[in-house]
Amino acid sequence: MKLKLKVIAELVDAQFLCGADSAEREVTGASAADLLSDVLATVREEGILLITGMVTPQVVRVAEVMNMGAILFVRGKRPAASTVAYATGAGIPLLATTRSMFETCGVLYAEGLRSPKRKSLPLDHVPPDTPSL
pLDDT more than 90, % of the chain:
76
Domain ranges of the chain: 3-117
- At position 120, the amino acid (one-letter code) is S
d(CA 14, CA 110): 17
User: Residue 71: exposed, middle, or buried by beta-carbon count in 10 A (0-12, 13-18, 19+)?
Assistant: buried
pLDDT for residue 119: 59
pLDDT for residue 132: 58
pLDDT for residue 87: 98
Mean pLDDT per 10-residue interval, the chain, length 133 residues:
96 98 96 90 88 97 94 98 97 98 97 78 59 59
Residues 6+ apart with CB under 8 A from 42: 31, 118, 119, 121
3-117 belongs to which CATH class? Answer: alpha beta
